[in-house]
């Protein structure tokens, strides 16, 4: 094995690629599940903590017959709040990017602008900010993500599915990165 990338051989990089793939298949879903559990500590003024909110959004998507990628997007759209609340959409989107469609990636990335319909006017911002994306192919999914699954998901008394029940969808989505780059 090399001690600087400048010395890497084709054999080194093949070995490293195989190890990355092996690690990805065994660790990614577990890391996502553990990260989702950590959202329980983030309350940020809502009636539901961020784990409850994520579980409600995921449950709403699942009960609406959403695909695995869509359920995982609803479940994980706020994962970026573990690192930065103001920039949480782009952070969550980048975490999902290698595993989901471009439409889902963009919807998660921009979901705050779509949420703005519900609160931007109270902050002196444009509540119709989402309309600047109306010609994008992912617009309709972003509307569904926010209006159907995200915006209604703040009732801590809602009969939401348990975190562990989402492991199959999370495992399937995070098992096969379609666009993985080291």
Task: Split the chain (182 residues) into runs of 10 and give each run's mean pLDDT.
Answer: 81 80 76 96 93 98 98 98 95 96 98 96 96 98 98 95 97 78 39
Q: Give the domains, in start order, of the chain with CATH numbers.
A: 12-174 (1.10.3210.10)
pTM: 0.89
Alpha helices in 64-138 (DSSP H): 68-76, 88-96, 102-109, 111-119
* Pair 126, 116: CB distance under 8 Å: yes
- Which one, of 161, 28, 39, 30, lies nearest residue 100 by Cα? 28
- Which one, of 38, 96, 36, lies nearest residue 68 by Cα? 96
Residue 106 exposed, middle or buried by CB count within 10 Å (0-12, 13-18, 19+)? buried
């Amino acid at each position: 094995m090399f001690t600087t990338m400048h010395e890497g051989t084709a054999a080194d990089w093949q070995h490293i690629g195989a190890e990355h793939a092996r690690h990805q298949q065994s660790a990614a879903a577990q890391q996502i599940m553990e990260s989702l559990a950590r959202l329980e500590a983030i309350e940020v003024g809502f009636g539901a903590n961020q784990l409850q909110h994520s579980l409600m959004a995921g449950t709403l998507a699942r009960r609406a017959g959403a695909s695995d990628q869509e359920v995982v997007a609803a479940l994980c759209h706020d994962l970026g709040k573990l690192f930065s609340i103001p920039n949480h959409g782009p952070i969550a989107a980048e975490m999902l990017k290698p595993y989901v469609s471009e439409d889902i990636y963009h919807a998660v990335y921009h979901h705050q602008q779509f949420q703005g319909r519900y609160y931007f006017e109270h902050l002196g911002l444009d509540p119709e900010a989402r309309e600047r994306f109306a010609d994008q192919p992912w617009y309709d999914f972003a509307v569904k993500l926010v209006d159907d699954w995200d915006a209604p998901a703040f009732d801590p008394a809602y009969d939401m599915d348990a975190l562990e029940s989402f492991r199959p969808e999370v495992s399937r989505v995070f098992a096969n990165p379609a666009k993985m780059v080291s």
